[in-house]
Chain A
Amino acid sequence: MKENPQMIRLTYREAVREAIREALRKDDRVFLMGEDVGRYGGCFAVSKGLLQEFGPERIRDTPLSESAFVGAGIGAAMGGMRPIVEIMTVNFSLLAADQILNNAATILHMSGGQFNIPLVIRMATGGGRQVAAQHSHSLEGWYAHIPGIKVLTPATLEDARGMLWTALEDPDPVLIFENSNLYNMEGQLPADAGPVDIDRARVRRPGSDVTIITYSASLFKALDAAEILAREGIDAEVIDLRTLRPLDQETFLASVTKTHRAVIVDEGWRSGSISAEIAARIMEGAFYELDAPVERICSVEVPMPYAKHLEQAALPQTETIVTTIKRMMHS
């Protein structure tokens, strides 16, 4: 394929790095801090090279003190800076859950609107790399439960490149979840790609028979499923939520109103999940439009196992999406 001269080829990892680099260049108040972001180059190599370019003041290695450095990010944000705090994985973010929930999400409200917290926290999420039950979970749906923060789940290169700056411009705390399986994903992006909105879902594939609602890495499984279904005459519309809080229900309700069927694909566990929230909103907002019950494809409710075949069985898969939709269409 001939490449458009205005397009550049890069990975998701490089797209995130470019976003961080652009923010550091554009705004002196921006700095990155987290475990191994500097000398090591980031545990997923996202920040590789940034220490050399911006120095240790702005690319700040922290001790393994999630609560202190997340809290310090909150304090620094209140003190006039625009911190980007990196937490290695969502499982480690639980060590900072006190700061995220009890401080970042509440201080604006508790202070009667006096102190806002323009903080961005990035972290890796997701399973599929055989790193077992303490490094693989998808807890972004959990965080989406909390009023006072915003929860972003960039799936595409465009969003990996563009969501960060918009998040930094936001006056309130924004959590960005990067599925670690996406870091090596390669593709093309316009050389001048810039900020994107962080509050709207996108239709990634238009269709008329069924709506697949998903986010993050599951988007690509949904798109693959839609292609397989298309060969069998089923035209699936695929919606990438992009942001789990605030949830853009207008987009998926409009789609369900058109297709009359909905399947939600969510790498989180089923019980009490973001998929449950979406299903409830469809009941509230489009019940009489439905030709079939809403279906959900989630991770099996086990701590993530190490063995590859078990881990793959625990995660939502393209094949499951295909068979579920075929069953729905023929029932």
Chain B
Amino acid sequence: MSPETIIKPTNTETISSQRIVSISRERALHLLYQMIRIRRFEAKSAELYGAMKIRGFLHLYDGEEAVAVGVMEALRPEDAVVATYREHGHALARGIPASAIMAEMYGKQEGCSRGRGGSMHLFDAKTRFYGGNAIVGGGLPLAVGLALADKMQGKRRVTCCFFGDGAVAEGEFHESMNLAALWQLPVLFICENNLYAMGTALRLSQSVTDLAKKAAGYAVAAEAVDGMDVLAVEVAAKKAAEIVRAGEGPYFLECRTYRFRGHSAFDTELYRTKAEVEEWKERDPIKTFIEHLKNQGLVSEMDLNELERKVADEIKEAVDFAEAGTWEPVEDLTRFVYSEWRGV
């Protein structure tokens, strides 16, 4: 079975501000560094999956890096993040150490969820990272609740909720949009539209494929952005987060992106053509950003080599940390089913 048509990357009307945003060399290198470390981390994860060091499901983020990196620039330390099962990139960009993430995927107790969660359930209280949620759409109500708590406590914080285009078909998406708008809650909804719910194309699962319109139907401020363009995402996310933080209600940002690898390690990709993937790879967010920065004279080959070396060191350290990690004693199996403290 082959797909009827190639889904082209060019037929979208989105904000694309790469050419209009001026950026300092320092900022440019920072964004590039974040995207490259995600890309290399994922490559290492795939390799370690092949080596059977990492097991379970593994969903990689290649191609979508500009979304997590751009959006995180709009968040502050006190904000909260609710992510999906394809969340290594979000966790890294949010500031969870690569070592703690890698150790988690190894199932070691030094992992960010003590080896209880694995690749799909990265959690971190320090950065207010509330998962790693692997029921599609299930994270949206949590984000609504976190934002409700902030609003009721008078805290000016943003809850940023990532989900894919597949989640838009779930009832929880619609219930959450309505509730967030009805109660004017400070949620920044980030829809990572990579055009496929696992293997089902958006056009085969949605009667209306312009997803921002669905959010707008609930009176949620909504916009679409080129999710392959880190500067465009950053600009759009900052504007959205500002509105949310100001107490003007939720915001829905659709980031139009593409997943370069299969849905998970088990995906044989029967539902799309190689030509389609190649066409999207022309718009690789890292490649195009480097080209842009070189044209602007902001980065040199030497800078890139330096970045790559820094990233390679960080990933090597992460793997070493995971390898050296320890297994939680089996006697501790039933810990964390209930809290080990009582109180108010």
Which of A57, A76, A102, A111 lies in contact with B138, CB distance below 8 A? A102
Known: A65-B179, A112-B123, A114-B123. A75 touches B141 (CB 8 A): yes
Can you name the residue of chain A whose Cβ is closest to the Cβ of B148? A76
Report chain A residues within 8 Å CB of B23. none
B297 within 8 A of A: no
Are B138 and A107 within 8 A (Cβ)? no
Bound CA–CA A112/B337 (angstroms):
9
- Specify which of B80, B125, B159, B182 lies most central, judged by the most chain A CB atoms within 10 Å of its CB: B125
Instruction: List residues of chain B with CB within 8 A of the CB of A150.
Output: 338
Q: Is the CB of A68 within 8 A of B141?
A: yes
What string of 1s and 0s marks CB contacts (under 8 Å) between B153-186 and chain A?
Answer: 1000001000000000001100110110010000
Query: Which residues of A148-182 are within 8 A (CB) of B?
Result: 148, 150, 169-172
CB-defined contacts of A65 to chain B, threshold 8 Å: 175, 178-179
Contact between chains at B146 and A114 (CB < 8 Å): no
The reply to whether B145 and A76 form a contact with Cβ atoms under 8 Å apart is yes
Q: Can you name 8 A-B pairs with beta carbons within 8 Å? A: A75-B148, A79-B148, A81-B152, A107-B130, A109-B336, A112-B112, A172-B338, A172-B339
Task: Decide if B51 is an interface residue (CB 8 Å cutoff).
Answer: no
Specify the chain B residue showing the minimal Cβ separation from A168: B344
Q: A103 to chain B: which residues have CB within 8 Å?
A: 133, 135, 138, 142
Is A112 in contact with B179, judged by CB distance below 8 angstroms? no
Pairwise interchain contact B114-A73, C-beta atoms closer than 8 A: no
B89 at the interface (CB under 8 A from A): no
Point out the residue from B109, B116, B124, B179 that lies within 8 Å of A110, measured CB to CB: B116
Contact call A171/B339, Cβ cutoff below 8 A:
yes
| Nearest CB of chain A from residue B342's CB, rounded to whole Å | 6
State whether B117 touches A79 (Cβ < 8 A): no
Number of interface residues of B (CB under 8 A): 50
Cα distance A75–B152 when bound, in Å? 13
A75 / chain B contacts, CB cutoff of 8 Å: 130, 141-149, 159
Going nearest first, the 4 A-B pairs with the smallest beta carbon separation are A75-B145, A71-B141, A79-B149, A112-B114
Max chain B Cβ within 10 angstroms of own Cβ: one of A73, A74, A98, A109:
A109
B102 interface residue per 8 A CB criterion: no
Our pick among A73, A102, A108, A171 for the contact of B145 (Cβ within 8 Å) is A73
> Complex Cα distance A27/B152, Å?
13
- A interface residues (Cβ-Cβ under 8 A, vs B): 27, 31, 57, 62-63, 65, 67-81, 83, 98-99, 102-103, 107-116, 147-148, 150, 169-172
B329 in the interface (beta carbon within 8 A): no
- Min CB distance B150 to A, Å, is 6
Contacts of A71 in B (CB 8 A): 138, 140-142, 144-145, 172, 176
Closest CB of chain B to A176's CB: distance in Å?
17
Given A72-B144, A79-B145, A108-B339, are A31 and B152 also a contact pair (CB < 8 Å)? yes
Interface residue? B113 (CB, 8 A): yes
Find chain A residues with CB under 8 A from B171 CB.
Answer: 67
| CB contact between B113 and one of A67, A78, A80, A114 (< 8 Å): that residue | A114
Q: How far is the CA of A107 from the CA of B132 in the complex (A)?
A: 10
Asked, given contacts A62-B179, A75-B142, A75-B145, whether A113 binds B152 with beta carbons under 8 Å apart, the answer is no
* Nearest chain B CB to A175 CB, angstrom units: 14
* B131 and A72 contacting across the interface, CB-CB below 8 Å: no
B86 interfacial contact with A, CB 8 Å? no
Contacting residues, chain A, for B144 (C-beta < 8 A): 68, 71-72, 75
Nearest opposing residue in chain A for B116, CB measure: A112
- Tell me which residues across on chain A come within 8 A of B63, comparing CB atoms: none
* B336 engages A76 (CB within 8 Å): no
Complex Cα spacing A78 to B123, Å: 13
Once the chains bind, are B123 and A110 in contact (CB under 8 Å)?
A: yes
- The 8 Å CB contact of B337, one of A68, A148, A171, is A148
Complex Cα gap A66–B218 (Å) = 18
